[in-house]
Structure 1
């Protein structure tokens, strides 16, 4: 999957929506909106970092030799 491509943006929006609604609806604290926004944003940022690391070595022409 291309980083910041069309598929990545769609998956990020779905991830944000799921995390936001799970935290917003399941929280009874006074600051539930702020917590839900922070958790959903952190989830999307984590997804982006994970995809960046995954795609970093995807087209490597010189992989490490004798890697076990």
Structure 2
């Protein structure tokens, strides 16, 4: 999956929505909106960093020599 491609944006929106609703509906504190937004943004950022690391070496033409 290409970083910031169409599929990445769709998955990011779904992740944001799920995390936001889980934290907003399940929280009884006074600052539930701020906590839900921070958690949802952190989840999307974590997803993006994970995809960046995963796709970093995907098209590597020169793998390390003597890997075994």
Equivalent in the alignment of 1:27: 27
Mapping 1:29-68, distance limit 5 Å: 29-68=29-68
Alpha-carbon distance between aligned partners in 2 of 1:33 and 1:66, rounded to the nearest angstrom: 52
Alpha-carbon distance between aligned partners in 1 of 2:66 and 2:47, rounded to the nearest angstrom: 30
The number of aligned residues is 68
Once the two structures are superposed, what CA deviation does each residue of 1:19-46 show, in whole Å capped at 9, x if it has no partner?
0000000000000000000000000000
Alpha-carbon distance between aligned partners in 1 of 2:29 and 2:18, rounded to the nearest angstrom: 19
Task: State the TM-score, normalizing by the size of structure 2.
Answer: 0.96
* Structure 2 unpaired stretches of 5+: none
* Structure 1 unpaired stretches of 5+: none
